[in-house]
Structure 1
Amino acid sequence: MANRKGPRRASEIVTEVLDLLNSGKMETVNLTEWLAVDHIKLLRNVLMELGLQQHTTAMLSALERIKGQPVMKVIPAVAGEWLGMVRQQKEYGQNEIFERLAAHPSDSVRCWAAYIIGLEELGLEQKLALIRRFAADGHFGVREIAWMAIREDVSQELLLSIQVLSEWVDEEDANVRRFAVEATRPRGVWAKHITKLKENPELGLPLLEPLKSDPSKYVQDSVANWLNDAAKSRPEWVASLCETWLTISDGTSTKRIAARAQRSIKQ
């Protein structure tokens, strides 16, 4: 099933594929499949795979409350149930359970691992250091969950977050560069707004300026979306910034970012 294309609708997912996804033996290939994964079935199978089936009844009982809930509520809940076992050892590098989840072939399981970091009682800088591997993950779903998992921490310690992430925007990996922007979007997707950035988007310039001519369309889209968020409360600022960028660089990348950034501004 290599190089397969995902279906447009959940009803089109063949039974064999869905069984493999729910058993943790296959990655999802698009959003339709990602949303279709049954995390309860997957949890049962992963517990058995890791030789932790003795925890099945307790964990599934605790998760009764999330039946029928959307995936963005299910993933944190499942991660929360894993957290107790992960906390048995202090150092993540020595924690076999966490490492098995973090390196699992299933993208959905790696999503749980990313969210465990978000739920842990750690300082912001330590969380960012630990979440980096998921920010660079090869799967779109894991990368999205990674920034969502630490979004609240970023919002609570915004200036420190920007300071730390300003080093990430110089990284060679486009996924890491994109994470630094996506995690701080003023409005974001499936996430709380960051009021301070809606009102003062100039605070985000240390993350945005280095990427104004980024060659990656993945990064370009994130920068443009960040500015489009800001334009809903500070349209004049976004328009002025884009004008300045275009006088500095008239390359294709900057033009694309500027155009997409101003798509919500009334002309």
Structure 2
Amino acid sequence: MADLETLRARKGAVRRSEVPSNVVTALNRGELESVNLVEFLVIDHVKLFKAVRPALSLADADAKKIALAIKRLSSEGVMQRLVATGAAFHETLEDSESREKVYQELTEHPSDVVRNWAAYMDAADANLTFSKRLQRARKFATDSNMGVREIAWMCVRFPAADAIVNDIERLYSFAKHKNYLARRFAIEVSRPCGVWCKHIPALKQRPEIAEELLSHCREDSEKYVQDSVANWLNDASKTRPDFVQDLCDRWRSENDSPHTKRITHRALRTLRKKA
């Protein structure tokens, strides 16, 4: 097999059939993280768990239970597998003294899929407060892997959509964080429509709830954050065009920053098409 450092510098394949066999092997061993969705989809979760299991502080009985759950999920879609695998870890280890140790081992693993299992352990834990969810999600929200960053906000949004509306001020510290990945997380987790997830009706009908949150990032210099703010507003423009138009007009009148101009221009793209 090629040196792992050489493989880490690779460009991802365009089609699953084009992923080199040595890359597939390394992904299934948990030695590499995926670099794009194509690679993410070729990973065999059964093989991956078997490969990483020796590095986890799991009792044999617990490992067998989780392995069986993962095997049963083989025919499911990748998102269903991630959700259910995280739940299997949580349910198996809920009363175990090793739960947090295993969780930490998952969060620090080289494989992005394994780190996603940890994120979905938190999603499955109904006892976590919204504040605690955000605290634990920070690690995933600022992960170097784009796929893990996407999973980070999904794993908060799915079990705590109501809290995002009712306690949105808890996201302000993320929106003002020095790490732009944390700022992007604050916006993405609260999008009215979101991506690959259920909508939040309250934010579709009353986007004013998030105005202060959005304002923290209206002059953000990072394109990654700008796009997220613009997409948030574009989502809202489909149900509350009045709010989005008025907000964008006000932002532009109050600030001539090129960053604000770019955000508002992109935010109004659906309204421009309708016009």
Q: TM-score normalized by structure 1?
A: 0.93
Q: Helix, strand or coil: the match of 1:192?
A: coil
Q: Select the residue among 248, 257, 267 that pairs with 2:254.
A: 248
Match status 1:117 vs 2:122:
yes
Match status 1:103 vs 2:108:
yes
- Confirm or deny: 8 A CA contact 2:24 2:43 kept in the other structure: yes
CA displacement at 1:64 relative to structure 2: 4.6
CA displacement at 1:51 relative to structure 2: 6.1
CA displacement at 1:122 relative to structure 2: 1.2
Gaps of 5+ in 2: 1-6
Structure 1 counterpart of 2:169, which letter? Q
Q: Select the residue among 48, 57, 77 that pairs with 2:84.
A: 77
Q: Does the C-alpha gap of structure 1 residues 43 and 244 become closer, same or farther in structure 2, counting only changes over 3 Å?
A: same
Q: Helix, strand or coil: the match of 1:24?
A: coil
In the other structure, the counterpart of 1:139 is 145
CA displacement at 1:101 relative to structure 2: 0.4
| Moved >4 Å (runs of 4+) | 89-92
- Confirm or deny: 8 A CA contact 2:119 2:152 kept in the other structure: yes
Q: Select the residue among 7, 14, 23 that pairs with 2:13.
A: 7
- Confirm or deny: 8 A CA contact 1:212 1:253 kept in the other structure: yes
Q: Does the C-alpha gap of structure 1 residues 42 and 53 become closer, same or farther in structure 2, counting only changes over 3 Å?
A: farther
Q: TM-score normalized by structure 2?
A: 0.90
- Confirm or deny: 8 A CA contact 2:229 2:263 kept in the other structure: yes
Structure 1 counterpart of 2:123, which letter? G
In the other structure, the counterpart of 1:34 is 40
Q: Select the residue among 67, 75, 91 that pairs with 1:68.
A: 75
* Residues 200-211 of structure 1: pairs in structure 2 closer than 5 A: 200-211=206-217
CA displacement at 1:36 relative to structure 2: 2.2
Alignment partners' CA distance in 2, 1:141 and 1:226: 19
CA displacement at 1:90 relative to structure 2: 6.8
Alignment partners' CA distance in 1, 2:43 and 2:226: 30
Give % identity.
40
Q: Does the C-alpha gap of structure 1 residues 153 and 79 become closer, same or farther in structure 2, counting only changes over 3 Å?
A: closer
Q: What does the per-residue CA deviation read over 1:90-138, in whole Å, with 9 as the maximum and x for residues that have no partner?
A: 797xx22111001111111111111111111211111111111111111
Aligned residues: 265
CA displacement at 1:255 relative to structure 2: 1.4
Q: CA RMSD in A?
A: 1.9
Alignment partners' CA distance in 2, 1:212 and 1:81: 40
Match status 1:262 vs 2:261:
no
